[in-house]
A and B are shown apart, each in its own frame.
Chain A
Amino acid sequence: MLKIADKLFNSRLFTGTGKFQNRQAMTEAIIASDSELVTMALKRVDLYSQDDDILEPLLQQPHINLLPNTSGARDAKEAVYAAQLAREALQTNWLKLEIHPDPKYLLPDPIETLKACEQLAQQGFIVLPYIHADPVLCKHLEEAGAAAVMPLGSPIGSNLGLKTREFLQIIIEQTQVPVVVDAGIGSPSDAALAMELGADAVLVNTAIAVSPNPVAMAIAFKEAVSAGRRAYEAGLGSRSLEAQASSPLTAFLDDM
């Protein structure tokens, strides 16, 4: 099981609520994914209405934990304010911290993110910051009190897969909090690869929401994440460009 802060998760697939064509498609896909942690943009939801199209169906699922995110925040000040509003309205101190002043590629601002993480952790939030795949930043965030780190595989919504693979490996090797690969995962094979590398979880939204069949795609991701994790736990064989003969050339020495 995966543990983040004080919570245990059976599923290592986290999902999102954006980009679906309607509430029903969103609900069915999230349920099919077995995801227990679901993020939603504060800017989209009506925090003070129990009938909100995004919130209402999620609140009906007892196994689902809400992970409000601060998408839209351009600096630490905006993100901290949004987080405080979310905590008050949704009664959760879990937060996906997103600060992207760049509206084109939506790349996260490392300086403002670290600043906000420090403040929010001190205020008792369980902070999961969305960041570039920067190993040193991950260590800083860990020290600042982040409950997990969420490095991107490639630009958000790009479906380009793990373009940051080498850096993700360093992060996984060094970081002492859970690593959730977020953004850019475009296919179940990307998710499986992230899990094989040792990521603790992945967050997938666009690839499921924009699929012509979101439910089938959610199931495909669920199975891929599960297979990838199992492979990681089993231990992958080492790779070599040279053939490893099953009858080694020097085996005769053992007989001498």
Chain B
Amino acid sequence: MSFLDTFNRLDWNEIKLSIASKTAADVEQALSDRRLNHDQFLALISPAASPYLELMAKKSLQLTRQRFGNTIQLYIPLYLSNKCTNICTYCGFSLGNKIRRKTLSMDDLDAEIKAIKAHGFEHLLLVTGEAPGTVGMDYFRQVLPKLRMHFSHISMEVQPLDQSDYEELMSLGLDAVLVYQETYHRPTYNKVHLRGSKADFDYRLETPDRLGKAGIDKIGIGALIGLEDWRTDAAMVAAHLDYLEKTYWRTRYSISFPRLRPCEGELNPVSLISDRQLVQLICAYRLFKPEAELSLSTRESARFRDNVLPLGVTTMSAFSSTQPGGYVNDEFLEHTALEQFAIDDNRRPEQVADAIKARGLEAVWKDWDGCYSH
């Protein structure tokens, strides 16, 4: 059994219709309950919930502060390689894009570690393109023990792996894995993933199951906003989270809601989401799962991030470079030849921390200790 069995029973069009038919009464009922079911979540992401946004935001803020306190946890992505064997129509790393390719050597890695540590980060997210021949298990076996010595918490956003691979990486110090389905709409998924192992929808969909069985501490899931109708994709993410929480109850979960950003080989989003709707989505996730970590990346503008951060978000990246080797040169933001996508919030870590402080919150650089990863 895996989520695939549950997923195959979900009907995309039926859920889409259900969201569209929600009424003000459905929204009010959802807002009055302490623990929401999936149908109530659909009400909160529906157009009918739009007039209730302020109330949703207030409840979301209160639940977030109660559960997570007055804190926002910071992390930084480390791009290990932009090599990729997939052709995906929305990604800068796509095989067809004529960009310079680079994979960090161990010396490059040392330099990146030094540059990142100088900014105080303890939580690291490792990112690669999907090129198992270059950045596969052999590479990870070299990289993880080295990073483990320097950082308190290590997450990965790389190609889906087998359960035994995850178990081995956990023994080397891996704490969390993020794996986004991009879209849960199978026909669209097939349309945007033209070549490479990423085209295997089912293997990707079952990745959180393999992680749960491996006993990983944290799993991040989400959908890329822009590939399909965002409301229905969000409903699928919520169903996935519901399933995972009940099945792998020892694991923590995080949700991301990345909006498509400009990149090499750009694809025009088919489903635009406004700032107002993104706030609605964040608050709906918070009301649905008060204990889930909600993460906001530097894809969003500084102004949007500052305003939305008190409302439900618990985790933010800062000072991100989406290109391998991007931190060694302090002026890296000027050099974008290798990047996956263009970031929007270019502020330095201390500026982000100051913005968090200005909202009456504390920037937390360390919220996990490597001793729990042994």
Chain A residues in contact with chain B, CB under 8 A? 18-23, 25, 42-46, 72-74, 78, 81-82, 85, 101-105, 157-159, 206, 209-210
Contacts and interface: CB of A to CB of B under 8 A. Distances in A.
B354 to A, nearest CB: 12
B69 interface: yes
A25 B360 CA distance: 11
Contact of A20 (B66, B69, B245, B367): B69
Contact of B372 (A23, A43, A104, A105): A43
B249 interface: yes
Contacts of A73: 372
30 contacts: A19-B68, A19-B69, A20-B70, A20-B362, A21-B71, A21-B361, A23-B362, A43-B366, A43-B367, A44-B364, A44-B366, A72-B372, A73-B372, A74-B217, A74-B372, A78-B372, A78-B374, A82-B369, A82-B371, A82-B372, A101-B249, A101-B250, A103-B251, A104-B245, A104-B291, A158-B66, A206-B69, A209-B69, A210-B66, A210-B70
Contacts of A81: 371, 374
B290 to A, nearest CB: 9
Contacts, number: 74
B249 A104 contact: yes
A20 B356 CA distance: 13
A227 B252 CA distance: 40
Nearest to B291: A104
B368 interface: yes
Interface of B: 65-71, 152, 217, 245, 249-253, 291, 357, 360-362, 364, 366-369, 371-372, 374
Contact of B360 (A21, A85, A103, A104): A21
Contacts of A23: 362
B252 A18 contact: no
Nearest to B250: A101
Contacts of A44: 364, 366-367
A78 B371 contact: yes
Contact of B250 (A102, A157, A159, A210): A102
A146 to B, nearest CB: 22
B369 A206 contact: no
Contact of A210 (B69, B217, B369): B69
A206 B362 contact: no
Contacts of A46: 366
Contacts of B250: 74, 101-103
A104 B289 CA distance: 9
A19 B71 contact: yes
A43 B369 contact: yes
Given A18-B69, A101-B249, 12 more contacts: A20-B70, A43-B368, A46-B366, A72-B369, A74-B372, A81-B371, A85-B369, A102-B250, A157-B67, A158-B66, A209-B70, A210-B69
A103 B368 CA distance: 14
A101 B250 CA distance: 5
Contacts of B364: 44
A72 B360 contact: no
B190 to A, nearest CB: 34
Select the residue from B68, B249, B372 with max chain A CB neighbours within 10 A. B372
A210 B65 contact: yes
Nearest to B67: A157
B169 to A, nearest CB: 17
B88 to A, nearest CB: 32
B71 A42 contact: no
B181 to A, nearest CB: 22
* A-B pairs, 3 with minimum CB distance: A19-B69, A21-B70, A103-B252
B144 to A, nearest CB: 19
A72 B250 CA distance: 11
B66 A206 contact: yes
Select the residue from B217, B250, B369 with max chain A CB neighbours within 10 A. B369
A20 B71 CA distance: 7
Contacts of A19: 65, 68-71
Nearest to B246: A104
Nearest to A156: B67
A45 B371 CA distance: 12
B371 A42 contact: yes
A83 to B, nearest CB: 10
Contact of B66 (A45, A103, A105, A157): A157
Contacts of A72: 368-369, 372
